Copies of this chain bind each other. A is one copy, B any other.
Amino acid sequence: MSLELRVDRNSPVPLYFQLAQQLEAAIERGVLTPGSLLGNEIELAARLGLSRPTVRQAIQSLVDKGLLVRRRGVGTQVVHSRVKRPLELSSLYDDLEAAGQRPATTVLVNTLVPASAEVAAALGLGEGGDVHRVERLRLAHGEPIAYLVNFLPPGLLDLDTAHLRATGLYRLMRSAGITLHSARQSIGARAATCAEAERLGEKEGAPLLTMERTTFDDTGRAVEFGTHLYRPSRYSFEFQLLVRS
């Protein structure tokens, strides 16, 4: 095996993380092939001059990512079929950009409004308090893809219309120092109303994909609630779900 591993003890990057990165890269590049055994933890630790718990921490992080499998009495193996994307909070803007679709955004509305009961409940705020309401049309290659309505708690973000035109909401939140943690999503379908059909360039009654989402940051605060409409001919949701053990 041509697998060369080494760690830099002067680096500020944690040792377990350095090791995890190198193992992941080796799997990615095919140096470690699916099904191959990693060698036992004790020996690996000795070879790297690390303690066993440190090596275990590195391996565990890759097991959590679904790249490795550990079996007692057997060893640690590279998973047979590599997973494409582990799991992501999908951002329509990033998805389109990654697909080379050159997303564009038209900001239809960007104001403060009193929170309705539904919005207040989703964001965990008092009913009637002010919230940002942002309404956008997302396009790719000049064609409408989705109609997005979002509500955000006040004072969290500088919701400049120019910023909203140039990028996605998630990027805006991340660059404002908000660490996104999780989102609760509901995906369904229904027929387009007349107004919706016109906005999206569909016919009345055409099937539309619907999503409602509440996003939480790492302290558990709701930072965004949105109801979105997608043209199913132009967009579908793709993601990887992991089983909780």
A: residues with CB less than 8 A from B are 34, 53, 64-66, 69, 77, 79-84, 86-90, 124, 180-191, 205-210, 216, 218-222, 232, 235-244
Which residues of chain B are within 8 angstroms of A65 by Cβ–Cβ distance? 244
CB-based contact A209/B188 at 8 Å? yes
Quick one: which of B53, B191, B241 contacts A89, CB cutoff 8 A? B241
> Nearest chain B CB to A35's CB is how many angstroms away?
8
CB-based contact A236/B89 at 8 Å? no
- Per assembly, the copies of the chain total 2
Quick one: which of B82, B187, B222, B242 contacts A220, CB cutoff 8 A? B82
CB-based contact B88/A238 at 8 Å? no
CB-based contact A181/B220 at 8 Å? no
Quick one: which of B81, B185, B220 contacts A81, CB cutoff 8 A? B220
Given A182-B240, A189-B232, output 16 extra A-B contacts at Cβ < 8 Å. Answer: A81-B222, A83-B184, A87-B241, A87-B244, A90-B241, A184-B240, A185-B239, A187-B187, A187-B209, A187-B237, A187-B238, A188-B232, A188-B237, A191-B207, A207-B207, A209-B209
CB-based contact B209/A189 at 8 Å? yes
CB-based contact B80/A219 at 8 Å? yes
CB-based contact A208/B189 at 8 Å? yes
CB-based contact A84/B184 at 8 Å? yes
Which residues of chain B are within 8 angstroms of A235 by Cβ–Cβ distance? 188
CB-based contact A216/B81 at 8 Å? yes
CB-based contact A238/B185 at 8 Å? yes
